[in-house]
Structure 1
Amino acid sequence: MASKAPPRIFSSARRIATRRRMLALQALPDAPCYLIDDMVEDVLERLAFLRFEPAKALIIGDYSGALAQTLLARGVEVIEAEPALGFTEEQPFPFEGFDLIASLGTLDTVNDVPGALVHMRKALAPGGMVIASFVSSGSLPVLREVMLAADGDRPSPRLHPAIDVRAGAQLLQRTLFADPVTDHRPLDVVFRSLERLVGDLRALGLSNVLSDPGPPLGKAGLACAREAFAAAGEDGRTVERFEILTLSGWKR
């Protein structure tokens, strides 16, 4: 019996457009880069802790280029891939034999996450490792409440469904990674306005790419959202939380 196709939760066209806008915004001065900086630092810390020195690495989604630069300085052969530029995680990779695949901030908007992980495992050399980090369940709790308040009795799909730690562990087991490890960490960021948060989400590639993004919020809804966001903070400062989930495993 043929397996069922995964549900189309996310729009591929919207995802590409969002990431292209992200790349343009990240080229501007003072672009917010706290999420990618955290993910890159985490990958390097894991490699140091494991004393793992890959000879060949594939880096997916690191628009900062920092991880590639660090690995290149260590003599690692590096290939970089970006979904905004035509690379897709949901198809077999056009290259293989990697000791390390680092996927940063992309799997949270892939419709077929198990398929993407399978393609990663197949692209690894024996003994190779995957480290995949992305924004996960528990992220943006303030914004979720704000949007519910703004929509009133007819809530619309405005924020993405997300993978939690338990589901992440199941994904690694399902896709046959050896020695799977799943963990998550919070990153709290202070915002002075709803507009500043929305601006950061656009620059971080985290705006709505759902296949059904819902209707526009409207002026009344936006005013309500602004009030609710301000009310969630103190002294004009509202703390929003990002939860970063990291999946890692080996190909034996």
Structure 2
Amino acid sequence: MADPTAVFDRRLVRLRRDRSAATQHRVAPILEEAADRLLDRLDDTTRRFTRALEIGGRGLIAPRLAARGIGHIISADLSPALAARGGGVPVALDEEWLPFAPASFDLVVAFLDLHWVNDLPGALVQLRRAMVPDGLFLALLPGLPTLQELRTATISAETELRGGLSPRVSPFPELRDGAGLLQRAGFTMPVADAEELPLLYRDPFALFADLRAAGETNAVLTRDGRIPPRALFPLAAAHMPRDAQGTPATLRLIALTGWSPGEGQPQPARPGSATTRLADALGAKEHGTGEKTGR
């Protein structure tokens, strides 16, 4: 029986990632920039790592980890083809059913991969259990409003042609959900932040081609299984914003950072334990509730 909570067709995701192994070089500049931005966060810690798991690295993460002196790297992916190209010891797996023993890694990096997982909280729990105490978790995934221009254009086009619509662009998480997901999975010191990676295409069809090359086309279970009308994508392209430079596309990258629980980690202060008033630290005058500040 199908899982009623499932959002994505995982088999289709795997097939498209398999095919992308031969075409992802067409979007290499985007992937390389995203990989560099994620791994720059390793420069913010003095901790040295020896055993890393990278998921979805596409051959970009493992070499960068090796260059930082990490000697043992597992390259995992839902796609066997991409796992084989990862750069570390290849493991084809389902991110929702991890095969690793507890305390196997001191660093886990998930690169543009977890947005295709149906049970993201469950996957994060499994990843945390696979980590040693005080291990570092890094993840990068697209978040809203990524591809909002395309989402709006396809809705308008399909409504015009069919009088209704079906999902054409994947749902993405919001930044405000990031730290909560990490905390729910048992990570400490959770941080979620976002960066914009501005993209500009000569026309909308170049954007469509890049999504196919990266294996990032629609895999929502509730998608319309019928062949799209011939006019759908040309009409959607006509609805896309465009200026003299070309067609802009939004790519918002959400970076998640968290640590597996361990001894000696900083802990939040107990409420009411502060010894210095905030007003004193800010050099401001403190006013009571309801008191008029005036001038």
User: What TM-score do the two structures reach when normalised by structure 2?
Assistant: 0.78
Task: Determine which structure has more spread, i.e. the larger CA radius of gyration.
Answer: 2
Please tell me the residue identity of whatever aligns with 1:220: A
Q: SS at 1:53's partner residue?
A: coil
Contact 1:172 1:249 in 2 (8 A): yes
User: How many residues of Structure 1 are paired with residues of Structure 2 in the alignment?
Assistant: 242
| 2:98 is aligned with 1:92 | yes
Distance 2:4 2:132 in 1: 27
- Looking at both structures, which has the greater relative contact order when contacts are Cα pairs under 8 Å and sequence separation is at least 6? 1
Which of the two has greater helix per residue? 1
Give the deviation of 1:181 after TM superposition. Answer: 0.4
Match of 2:147?
A: 140
Contact 1:6 1:112 in 2 (8 A): no
Please tell me the residue identity of whatever aligns with 2:18: R
Give the deviation of 1:179 after TM superposition. Answer: 0.3
Give the deviation of 1:6 after TM superposition. Answer: 7.0
Distance 2:164 2:4 in 1: 27
Match of 1:83?
A: 78
Contact 2:166 2:222 in 1 (8 A): no
| 2:249 is aligned with 1:243 | no
Contact 2:38 2:255 in 1 (8 A): no
Contact 1:47 1:53 in 2 (8 A): no
Cα deviation digits, residues 97-149 of structure 1 (max 9, x gap): 21110000111010000011011101111110110111112101110111011
Match of 2:66?
A: 72
1:24 to 17, 22, 44: 22
Q: Give % identity.
A: 31
Cα deviation digits, residues 13-56 of structure 1 (max 9, x gap): 111011111112125xxx11244223321232111122232111
Q: Which ranges of 4 or more aligned residues in structure 1 deviate by more than 6 Å?
A: none
Contact 1:93 1:120 in 2 (8 A): no
Please tell me the residue identity of whatever aligns with 1:75: G
Please tell me the residue identity of whatever aligns with 2:231: A
User: What TM-score do the two structures reach when normalised by structure 1?
Assistant: 0.90
| 2:218 is aligned with 1:224 | no
Give the deviation of 1:155 after TM superposition. Answer: 1.5
1:56 to 19, 44, 51: 51
Q: CA separation of 1:74/1:6 partners in 2, compared to 1, >3 Å: closer, same or farther?
A: farther
Give the deviation of 1:236 after TM superposition. Answer: 6.0
After TM superposition, list the pairs within 5 Å mapping 1:68-217 onto structure 2. Answer: 68-76=62-70, 77-85=72-80, 86-95=92-101, 96-152=103-159, 153-214=163-224, 215-217=226-228
Match of 2:274?
A: none
Q: SS at 2:166's partner residue?
A: coil
Q: SS at 1:151's partner residue?
A: helix
| 2:31 is aligned with 1:36 | yes
Give the deviation of 1:235 after TM superposition. Answer: 2.4
Give the deviation of 1:216 after TM superposition. Answer: 3.4
Distance 1:8 1:35 in 2: 29
Distance 2:4 2:55 in 1: 22
Cα deviation digits, residues 162-182 of structure 1 (max 9, x gap): 111111122111111000001
Match of 1:234?
A: 243
Q: SS at 1:24's partner residue?
A: coil
Point out the more displaced range, 183-192 or 40-49: 40-49
Distance 1:218 1:55 in 2: 52
